Amino acid sequence: MKILADENIPLVNEFFQSIGEVVTRPGRTMKNDDARDASALLVRSVTHVNQALLNSSKVSFVGTCTIGVDHLDQPWLQNNHVEFSSAPGCNANSVVEYVYAALCHLDVNWRDKKFGIIGCGNVGGLLYKRLKLQGVDCYCYDPLRTPEHNTDLTSLEEVLSCDIISMHTPLTNTGEHPSFHLINLPQLQLLNAGAVLLNCGRGPVINNADLLHFLTERDDVRVVLDVWEPEPDISLNLLDKVVLGSPHIAGYSYDGKLKGTEMIYQALCKHLNRPAELSIKDLVPPLANNQLRITEEKITWEQVKRLISQVYSIADDDKRLRALATRARNGEDNFAIGFDSLRKYYPTRREFHNYHVVGADTKTAEWLSVLGFSVASSTNE
């Protein structure tokens, strides 16, 4: 069988070559001719899977190595008896670590802040769980959840009054609670001076034109954007206004991407009624030289900031995107192509659980453990 896959799916050949012939293509430019002879299609969020792509093809299975499925025309797939599967939760930990890294870079200690979360599914739910373990004062908005799922549910207005607001919603245009342009100018005007707003879900959940207008008039709110409206042709003027910008890579940790590949591999094996014989552990060795040592006497917050920036420099993501914008404005680069290139060649980022911290005092060790680090407490506290 022929398996058509996005060329940016990591270890796609290693996982799937025992099942069939793997042919890779750029995800954003896949065409009907590419899929015509394929029996299975493996994609990421940049590929719109619909009738135009799959009409008259032999594809009977579509797997997306992502949490979101808004790029799949689910009714069409169902009506044409094409099975589809996603990878819910695969990059949730990666996105949560992006939030932590952004706040550390901005020197915003979330422990003593009123923290709002919009969207409490796989990603927002994990962030909420971690924050609650640290005793953080949380306020959540998700009309699809009930108090049984989350005891801190409240109104959108209450969440927008928080010191930190982190958005993790899927993109929906229909139903009782569509998320498209959930946040417009009236909602943005509810933000308090000094607030930090992060969007790591889907770009169009915030009306980007309204956001640019808002930030042009107010410089007392700090905005972090990993997702944009539209991508890859984002507003460079908006990029100028945000304090941190990145090219939709919050979920791009190497571990998260590998987990997505593994989950879709398992789903295709199930579809074909064959055992899943491979796992990440079979293909990827543990991280070498993974020990981080605390040698200086600093308060816990300073230690946390240093360690997180040591394993993930979110500032570098921002610098690469702004450097691309400068080249594009000078006529030296095509921004849209460059945006996708930054994603395709994104540096390997490993999640916190791959690192072992030595020498932390009890308070710091507890904090780092909640964040996911492997920690050995200091013996001379």
- Taking the CA atoms of 158, 161, 165 and 169 in sequence, report the sign of the dihedral they define: positive
Quick one: tokens of 101? 């890294």
User: What distance in Å separates the CA atoms of residue 343 and residue 354, rounded to the nearest whole number?
Assistant: 22
3-state DSSP assignment of residue 61: strand
- Cβ distance 343 to 249 under 8 Å? yes
- Provide the token pair at 222: 């700090």
Catalytic residue among 130, 248, 320, 343: 248
Q: Is 181 part of the annotated catalytic residue set?
A: no
How far apart are the C-alpha atoms of 127 and 134, rounded to whole Å?
11
Give yes or no: 177 in active site: no
The full length of the chain comes to 381
Judged by DSSP in three states, 346 sits in coil
DSSP letters of 170-232? PP-SSSSS--TT-B-HHHHTTPPTT-EEEE-S-GGGB-HHHHHHHHHH--SSEEEESS-SSSS
3-state secondary structure of 312: coil
Considering the candidates 44, 130, 168, 202, report the single residue annotated as catalytic.
202
The reply to whether 213 belongs to the active site is no
Determine the Cα–Cα distance for residues 317 and 217; give it in Å rounded to an integer: 26
Please give the C-alpha separations between residue 69 and each of 27, 64, 66, 241, 381, in angstroms, as whole numbers.
Answer: 15, 8, 7, 30, 49
- Give me the catalytic one of 97, 229, 231, 262: 231
Q: What is the DSSP letter of 166?
A: E
Catalytically active residues are 202, 231, 248
